[in-house]
Chains A and B, each alone.
Chain A
Amino acid sequence: MRNLKFLPTVIVAILLFAACSNDDNNTPVAVNEEEVITTLTVTLSPNGGGSPITLQTRDLDGDGPNAPVIEVSGELIAEISYNGSIVLLNETVSPAENITEEVIEEADEHQFFFTIGSGLNVTTEYRNFDGNGNPLGTEFTLTTGAASSGTLTFTLRHEPTKPNDGLSNAGGETDIAATFNVAVQ
């Protein structure tokens, strides 16, 4: 009957286990997405001075159901060149985190691409580069031609093949894809 002692031993062991594991630490802490990019702002400043134009897409709930809010502050002036700069923010945390800095730090793993719709008469040129001399694109020049309108798309790729001929053979993963309707007047 030695074995019968075994049953109470098991029961006691279970109770101990259950008691130990009942570590209810009240309520869990919230997790704020660290990597999410909520806001992309492109600022186009006319080279010869004048008021800058901003293009912004902002999605404060990240992957949540709300769609991004897209705003273009005005029309571009024909036949001039603009200094473009891109700022990326994570606004789910307070204060907002500037993601652009991370992208610049890991310049060799990132690249912005500018896709100009067929109707729009503008050209772009990279103004900043990674350590290997390959384009990064958080700073760029945009030169407008004659009056026109169409889409302007900014794509940020993570771990693209560098150098490349553009999106077609860049590979990598899309971190940002933002399309704006832009007019040149």
Chain B
Amino acid sequence: MRKYALLILLLSSISSISQNCDNTLSGKVTDLHDGSLIIGATLIVVGTEQAVQTDFDGEFTLSNLCNNTYSIQVSHPNCLTKGFTLKISGNTAKSFKLEHHLEELNQVTIEGKAYSNKSKTILENTISKEELERFSSGSLGDALNSLSGVSSLNTGSTVIKPMINGLHSSRVVIINNGVRMEDQEWGAEHAPNVDINSIGNLTLIKGAGALQFSGDAVGGVIVAESSKVPVKDSLYGKTLLTAARNGRGTSFTSQLTKSYQNGWYATMQGTITRFGDFEAPNYVLSNTGVFARNASLQVGLNRFSYGLEAYYSIFKNDIGILRASHLGGAQDQIRAINSYRPLIINDFTYQISEPRQDVTHHLARVKGYKRFKNFGKLSLQYDYQRNNRLEFDIRRGSDGKKASLDLQLKTHTLLLDLDSHLADGVRLKTGIMGSYQNNFADPTTGVRRLIPDYNMYDFGIYGVAEYRLSHQWLFEVGGRFDYTYMDVFKFYRTSFWESRNYDSLFPEIVVEELNNQILTNPKLNFYNGSGTLGSTYSFGEGYKMFFNYSVASRAPNPSELFSEGLHHSASRIELGDLRFNSEVGHKVSLSLQRDTGIFSFSVNPYINTISDFIVIEPTEIQQTVRGSFQVWEYRQTNAQLLGLDLDANYAFAKNFRLNSQFSLVKGYDRTRDEPLINMPPANFKNEIVYQNFDFNNIRLSLQSDYNFQQNEYPNNNFEVFIPETETMEVVDVSTPPDAYHLFNFNSSIDLKATEKTTLTVGFGITNVLHTSYRNYLNRLRYYADDLGRNFLLNLKINY
């Protein structure tokens, strides 16, 4: 970078010459980090305005100095200017050190990268702020869905759970501002508790290679970072308003940042989103409204050799779940599936009734770093998260308005990281992590705990080394070890305890036998190792080849271990297994990328082999007084996922661009030799974009989004007795819906309101043709169509 740095030429003027002022100051300017010479740094003597530049050896000489105390300012285009005070007495030698790693200083420049790479040997996908703003009224999952290889497991249109290369939930780790989200992410109907408007940059890593964050990301890692704040005196912000026809709602978000030259900064941000019932092409999707509120505050100091930051955010989300999806037993399921319309359709309302979710997530973080000469950057971070999830079901009698599920998950994490440059081209990142997590399930719900009370302790240690052999070759190798200890109090139904033979397998964990339940105290230990090995080869004009092999080990989550009972929102009985061990994924991925020229592309095939993969699938039908229910049991098997992600970008004419992407993943249960359930069907997206920077940055785009029918799926259908007809009828819960093709239109234009204010007006239409469709990965696909046409109007003011 420094090679390309512009040399700043300053006219030097020697203004005053007095007696005995013929001393010289000489020395070197070097990089604080690795001691390398800094060429072209400017030294200015404050007061005399005498200035010199360092030569090709990083050396300088200032002459005509008196025996006095001087202030010297040292600057370089790629470094932050630093002031030194020193006393001159005779000819003096003094060396100065500047920090030369711009990207780590959170400086936004044209040449430098504002956000550092998370993994050097896995192709990363990023979503910029501009793209994120188009999803302002949506969710994190909506934005991620625009990337190849990412799909989502949805519950209606508001609970969007990201899925990376066919894997989701606990296999996808979300890092929000440096904090690993602990928000009960195990549930399929639990969306990430992150406000999309608080994110400045979103990075997706399709694999477990980013070991500094976690070792259990069998699917991948999503890193959300807030916008970087420049080190200068400034006050700026933006306000965004989105109004949408479908759901008849708005989203309003505003952000204000104040920064100072001395490194201090503060950012405040808030969002409020309110939608009523959404609509499918032919009917209202009753009780699908959403009311989300988010606020965050960030205060920090960003200096050369040290910095600190405090961050706090609160996220509160009320989400209605489609009324017609709440069912009694299998007979209701047959009625719902056989009906082409939802069984319950009411008039449009903003009211959110049962079934609904009410989630509050608090996140607090303090972080500090210090750079040590010849040692590196040491960071210490502490974070605290509190997640409260309330789920309200349709209940009878006096319990009507009481939550059926009330879980409070508290997590404390302490991280110590060291980022050091050992030698030329060798970089080592190491760190240790400790965390404590407590789950409390409120017993006053009057419903048996879905997730038991537990304490969990985690300890992790990692090291990732990176070696740049040449301009062409970069190698990366890393390892991580995690130890997890769980101390759980779980009530089992006596009948389940005995039917699973736990009474003879685990008699020692029984604490107390009650009337029809048994209190147990399982204490579980998991030892997980993970690693990564990869290389990047750059060649030709903008070509890069990435190769990465990574191993990820994931301890089973509380839901997989302890589920035992009726899951109303899925109308099925879910059973976990206390005997599970960790699942281990081996992923090999290869990417070829070209990122310059009129035709850029990336091709990314991969193969992910997972042993002891935890999968939930139907096993039998259980009779209860309420009728029959399908029983879904978690089991461990050997799975394999093979896939291909393609991205291409072709600037076929001036101001015109064609973006194409194709994602394919095939998942198989190798033990049973059958396809895995809920694998995303192939997806092919094509978008024509017209963008003219010279004409108010006008941008028009038309996108075609083709989703194939999933043709490989396990057959989980079952039969149930219908008394009216006295016949056994098949409940078809397996057959995926037909393929569908959607068109989306988007446009925006920048209008200069005042000297410092830009107004961006955007207009978009999604599902232009008002197509009725159902998505295989939407859990409510049995009951209703997906969203119909939507008109969106965006207004953004940057100031």
A65-B499, A106-B397, A176-B626 as given contacts; A4 in contact with B370, CB under 8 Å: yes
Cross-chain contact B626 with A37 (CB below 8 angstroms): yes
Q: Which residues, 128 to 183 on A, are CB-close (under 8 Å) to B? A: 151, 153, 155, 157-159, 167-168, 171, 173-179
Interfacial chain A residues near B449, Cβ < 8 Å: 28, 31
Is residue B399 contacting chain A, with contact meaning CB distance below 8 A?
A: yes
Which residues in B have their C-beta under 8 angstroms from that of A40?
A: 625
**Residue among A24, A176, A177, A179 with the highest chain B CB neighbour number at 10 A:** A177
Decide if B538 is an interface residue (CB 8 Å cutoff): no
Stretch at the interface among B107-115, B659-667, B719-727: B719-727
Instruction: Kindly list chain A residues whose C-beta atoms are within 8 Å of the C-beta of B384.
Output: 17
Instruction: Decide yes or no whether A39 CB sits under 8 A from chain B.
Output: yes
Interface: B255 (CB within 8 A): no
A80 part of interface (Cβ distance < 8 Å): no
B246 to chain A, nearest CB (A): 26
Contact A178 B625 (CB under 8 A): yes
A34 adjacent to B447 (CB under 8 Å): yes
Complex contact B368–A7 (CB within 8 A): yes
CA gap between A35 and B566 in the complex, in Å: 12
A30 to B628, CA, bound (A): 26
Q: Are B626 and A67 in contact (CB under 8 A)?
A: no
Closest to B329 in A: A174
Give the docked Cα–Cα distance between A24 and B622 (Å). 37
In whole angstroms, what is the CA distance A174 to B724 when docked?
A: 14
Is there contact, CB below 8 Å, between A61 and B622?
no
Docked Cα-Cα span, A27 to B512, in Å, equals 10
Looking at the complex, which one of A3, A6, A37, A173 makes contact with B625 (CB distance below 8 Å)?
A37
Does the CB pair A94–B515 fall under 8 Å?
A: yes
Q: Known: A31-B448, A34-B447, A167-B724. Is A39-B625 also a contact (CB below 8 A)? A: yes
> Is the C-beta of A63 less than 8 angstroms from some C-beta in chain B?
yes
B: contact size bracket: 35 or more
* Residue in B331, B412, B446, B629 whose CB lies within 8 Å of A14: B412
**CA–CA, A103 to B624, complex, Å?**
19
Check B382–A31 contact: CB distance below 8 A: no
A151 near B726: Cβ-Cβ < 8 Å: yes
Contact A159 B394 (CB under 8 A): yes
A176 neighbours in B (Cβ, 8 Å) = 625-627
Let me know if B394 and A173 touch, CB within 8 A: yes
Q: How far is the CA of A65 from the CA of B502 in the complex (A)?
A: 14
Q: A35-B396, A179-B723 are in contact. Are A6 and B412 (CB under 8 A)?
A: no
Q: Are B625 and A38 in contact (CB under 8 A)?
A: yes
- Please state if B723 and A3 are interface contacts (CB–CB under 8 Å): no
Bound form: Cα–Cα A32–B517 in Å:
9
CA–CA, A4 and B623, complex, Å = 65
A-B pairs with lowest CB-CB distance, top 9: A174-B328, A177-B627, A34-B446, A153-B723, A61-B495, A173-B328, A64-B495, A115-B723, A64-B493
Interface of B toward A, CB cutoff 8 Å: 306, 308, 326-329, 331-332, 343-344, 366, 368, 370, 380, 382, 384, 394-397, 399, 410, 412, 414, 436, 438, 441, 443, 445-449, 452-453, 455, 489, 491, 493-496, 499, 511-512, 514-517, 519, 521, 565-566, 573, 622-629, 721, 723-724, 726
